[in-house]
Chain A
């Protein structure tokens, strides 16, 4: 990344991501305070739901999309050792996405799009919210196109070489996102925008929910794949070792990209519009997608074990203590994997067809997705930022100690926040409520957990401020020395020979995805156009 213009492009994306993140953190703490009922002056369902919607959009759509785009550019240019293709187009995508965010922010902050950052009618927000979200997604599609063009150009120019793992993972994520976002794009384009503009009077919510379910699960893997990429391409080297297996890493990304898509109906287990057979099929697929996560866990831990033993670690677990815990990337991956274990378990409970009924629409669900997203995924975004910031600014990180403290406090805060959240779910607290009235034995039992969540949220807020402080100080502190470090990719233990096309290209997997999507979503979507909808047509009338 020697090109100043490229570094600026990447940095701008990452700054937008973290600006959204810090605003959303303040909103998160407000929400947990408001919901607890501890400060009656704060109580306002209108403000609460506007805040929840904005918090969700900022975290799930803005932080992620801008971070993934910026990180993708960094990986593509450094791993392929070639300039970013069509930088004006990349800037165009950036500005388009940013205009979209601003456009969506206005109705969100005015309480005109308090639809809980979902796309589930009959809740309908202001048209500007949907138009803004559309621009953000179009910006991300342009990024996908740039990544796939660079991937293809490099493969054409280097027919006998393997695509670098970092680029293979990024291209797989771009392909995954193009497929994933198509569902919600159809819903927004043909249902929600016409409805919110008053062009049509009714739509079929069953179809809308089915289309959103198409997007809702793979979007999580779109967010998660950059974290997994860092697991594979940065962590082993940072730990002082080697990647256990390049081929297993590629296989994991392929299975993630292919099987994350046709499984969204576990979000519809309680919905009436899809038959139980289809739900069961998607439920089984959901367990299949746990496999690449297990493979990732194994490969990364094995890479860490090699590093720990090369550093003098002995015995079955003696290598854990010899790992470089003072390295932000290594610390982050350990904490990330710990949260993945518990978050993954929560996900397995959600995906269990029968047991889902116990936790459906309870506080368990936000507890689960905060642990997986804000825990496992976002802690790796921090580690990537700490790694990239010095490379992008050509100066050392302001404080490594502060970064380590920030990672620990994020982990502790997230554990304190999400554990009671899960317990509250099992105690029967619904999700998406703005107030709890503690006037009976059931809700009184919730109060200590709400207080714990406020404490966890405060730790998280402090941790988030530490992150921003460190990044800002790195940016503004003058540095007179020469900084020549570059992205240092992990090498596999065993040299990788020429890989077969199915481990070095995505064409065949794109076809597999098309077949699986047709099988798993074809009839469930088409049925809406043939069944009697009692007064409304699928797209509206």
Chain B
């Protein structure tokens, strides 16, 4: 674990969690795609 400077620490604490936004977008997007696949690919074809 590399030590970080006080400035770096302050910058991290004040920055937006961009990685989290990206992960959440991927998860929600994946869920929507999976739901659409189940609805149109499995549920509706069963009649």
Contact = CB atoms under 8 A, between A and B. Distances in A.
Counting contact residues on chain A (CB < 8 A from B), the size range is: 20 to 34
A259 to B, nearest CB: 19
A305 interface: yes
Nearest to B31: A345
Contacts of A317: 19, 22-23
Contacts of B20: 298, 301-302, 305
Contacts of B39: 352, 355
Given A306-B13, A355-B43, 14 more contacts: A242-B13, A298-B24, A302-B17, A305-B20, A306-B17, A309-B15, A310-B12, A317-B23, A341-B31, A348-B31, A348-B35, A352-B39, A358-B46, A426-B42
A301 B27 CA distance: 12
A301 B20 CA distance: 6
Given A297-B27, A316-B18, A355 B9 contact: no
Interface string B6-30: 0001001101011110111001101
Nearest to A344: B31
* Pairs of residues from A and B, 6 with the lowest C-beta to C-beta distance, nearest first: A302-B17, A312-B2, A302-B20, A301-B20, A309-B12, A305-B17
B27 to A, nearest CB: 6
A345 B23 contact: no
15 contacts: A242-B13, A294-B28, A301-B19, A301-B24, A305-B19, A309-B12, A310-B4, A310-B9, A311-B1, A317-B19, A317-B22, A319-B19, A349-B35, A355-B38, A358-B46
A310 B5 CA distance: 10
Counting contact residues on chain B (CB < 8 A from A), the size range is: 20 to 34
A341 B22 CA distance: 15
Among A305, A310, A349, A354, residue most surrounded by chain B Cβ atoms (within 10 Å): A305
A271 B35 CA distance: 24
A473 to B, nearest CB: 30
A24 to B, nearest CB: 30
Given A310-B4, A345-B34, A345-B35, A316 B19 contact: yes
A301 B1 contact: no
